[in-house]
């Protein structure tokens, strides 16, 4: 693991960003095929963590990893409903405590479940689904 301060800094930055997102703003943090993402809707902020449906066989989440996701508060994928990833939603407007909690959930997922060793290796993509602008 890397310096815990780097992960804490990432969590703080994400929480702050969440509070000021516009409808359609999307953030994807990835390391290869493993990713978390969050998108601002008109009445809620939706977050997702990649499920085994999208991961190559050599990168699939173990049963223990999936138990950790559940313990972190992620809801199971429901492919029959078109919900292929692990997910979590927060009502909008987002309270500061909820933003911090969700940011910690994202960081814990990347670090502890997806085994990302260093937050500096993450690719961050930011865009708005309605305008395609960053």
Domain residue extents for the chain: 4-128
pLDDT score of 54 more than 60 = yes
Q: How confident is the model at residue 37 (pLDDT cuts 50, 70, 90)?
A: very high
25-31 vs 86-91, strand pairing mode: unpaired
Is residue 78's pLDDT more than 60?
yes
Domain covering 4-128, topology: Yope Regulator; Chain: A, (3.30.1460)
- What per-residue confidence (pLDDT) applies to 8? 98
Q: Which residues contact 133 (CB under 8 A, 6 or more apart)?
A: 127
Mean local confidence (pLDDT), 81-92: 97
The predicted structure's pLDDT at residue 2: 54
What mean pLDDT comes out for the span 111-120?
97
Q: Give the percent of the chain with pLDDT over 70.
A: 99
Residues paired with residue 34 on neighbouring β-strands, in sequence order? 31
The H or E element spanning position 63 is helix 63-71
- Confidence band (pLDDT; 50, 70, 90) for 134? confident
């Amino acid at each position: 693991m890397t310096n815990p301060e780097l992960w804490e800094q990432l969590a703080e930055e994400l929480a702050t960003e969440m509070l000021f997102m516009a409808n359609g703003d999307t953030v994807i943090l990835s390391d290869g095929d493993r990713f978390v993402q969050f998108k601002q809707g008109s009445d809620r902020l939706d977050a997702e963590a990649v499920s085994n449906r999208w991961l190559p066989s050599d990168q699939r989440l173990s049963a223990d990893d999936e138990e950790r996701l559940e313990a972190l508060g992620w809801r199971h994928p429901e492919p029959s409903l078109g919900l292929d990833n692990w997910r979590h939603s927060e009502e909008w407007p987002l309270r500061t405590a909820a933003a911090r909690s969700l940011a910690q959930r994202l960081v814990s997922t990347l670090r502890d479940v997806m085994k990302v060793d260093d937050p500096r290796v993450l690719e961050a993509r930011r865009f708005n689904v309605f305008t395609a602008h960053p």
